Amino acid sequence: MSPSTKLFSLLVALFLAPLAAIAQDHPLLGRYGDSRQVGYKVDAYDEARIITGKINERGSTAQDGPGWALIEGKITTLYYILPAGRTSLEAQRNYEAALKAKGFEIAFSCSTEAGTCFNEGSFPGLFLGLALDGRVDLPKLQLGDFVRNFFGKGNGRYVYAKLNRPTGTVHVSLAFSDDESRGRAVIARVIESTTMDTGMIKVVEADEMSRSLDTQGRINLYGILFDFDKAEIKPESQPQIQQIAALLKRDPALRLDVIGHTDGQGGAAYNLRLSDARAFAVVAELAMRHGIDRTRLNPIGKGMGQPIASNADEAGRAQNRRVELVKR
């Protein structure tokens, strides 16, 4: 490589370096000043519970009732730490102005100390942090701690904005902590309503399950689906359930452990209970709807304890959320 080519490559690298640093900001949201990004995560299609109005403090961690909305779409989660000396109010006002300039409607904003976030009145910012973490805890990402712990002292502020587009509505959830001792944090979620990719579920046929059980003693299945935080089997799971029933009917001597696994989001005890309930639901479905002898099936929940991939990204988490059949 000639000296001039090397010089050109170096200049290009230096020019692109600042762009790489901001490449993970959402184009509809941006970044406040010199804030430091400490979290970035994208889920191509999922659901999230966000605050859209005043909520009840009692039971707020259940993320249900007045002021809560369950929204599906592409979810971008971003965390920032504000520069020293910059307040949550200043950041809030800047974000509101920027969102309005892009056509967003500021549908709700509040302050915990002003008594405008909760129906029962004023509370410390921690109560907003607890509500945000809610049922399963927001991912820690590079914060290194639970989101609620960044709201431990001082006020908490919140903004909900939305933008209607021909392709769907964009929802923005912004929470601002005022705990200077931990670093004032911005917790942002952008949910873009979009069409989910379909035809992605692979149904494992009875023959394939039989071969895997004979050679390996186990098989992972991804065609049994559940709603978020629930153990009810979704209707689109029936093709896979039917194949498991066919396998069991043609081999009356076959006995199986039906094991539920979760990803690494949320607490260990919570995920253990959820996986146990989901495994039991699969066994109940096979027994009640397909006439399989219940004594041939042993439901077991393993929670997040046996991952087969990294929980650092959605692709890995999707592999970890599974039902496993193990030959007894």
Residue 264, pLDDT score: 85
Same domain, 45 and 79: yes
Residues 224 and 303 in one domain: yes
Q: Considering the domain boundaries, does residue 10 fall inside one?
A: no
CB atoms within 10 A of CB 270: 17
pLDDT at 10: 38
Instruction: Tell me: do 181 and 232 sit in the same domain.
Output: no
CA pair distance 43, 228, nearest whole angstrom = 14
One domain for residues 294 and 222 = yes
Tell me if 1 is assigned to some domain. Answer: no
Same domain, yes or no, for 240 and 102? no
Instruction: Let me know whether 42 and 104 are in one domain.
Output: yes
Assigned domain for 197 exists: no
pLDDT number for residue 20:
36
| Residues of the chain by 3-state class (helix, strand, coil), percent to 5 | 35, 30, 40
Q: Residues near 25 by Cβ (< 8 Å), separated by ≥ 6?
A: 31, 37, 78
User: Are 219 and 243 found together in one domain?
Assistant: yes
Of 158, 192, 226, the domain-final residue: 192
Same domain, 65 and 140: yes
- pLDDT value at position 201? 64
**Together in a domain, 65 and 186:** yes
Domain at 313, CATH number = 3.30.1330.60
8 in any annotated domain: no
Q: Judge whether 53 lies within some domain.
A: yes
Per-residue pLDDT, 23: 46
The number of residues in the chain equals 328
Name the domain count of the chain: 2
Q: Is residue 68 part of a domain?
A: yes
pLDDT of residue 22: 40
Look up the domain containing 89 and give its range.
27-192
* Alpha-carbon span 153 to 232, nearest angstrom: 39
Note whether 86 and 230 are same-domain residues: no
Residue 4, in any domain of the structure? no
Q: 178 and 48 share a domain? A: yes
The pLDDT, as a whole number, for residue 67 is 95
pLDDT of res. 82: 97
pTM of the model: 0.60
* Per-residue pLDDT, 11: 38
Q: Cβ contacts of residue 227 below 8 Å, gap of 6+?
A: 234
Stretches where the chain sits below pLDDT 50 are 5-23
Element containing residue 269 per DSSP (H, E) = helix 268-290
Instruction: Round to whole Å and give the CA distance between 299 and 316.
Output: 24
Q: Are residues 170 and 247 in the same domain?
A: no
Residue 201 resides in a domain: no
pLDDT in tens, 127-182: 999 999 998 788 888 888 999 999 999 999 999 999 998 888 999 999 999 998 99
For the chain, give the mean pLDDT. 88
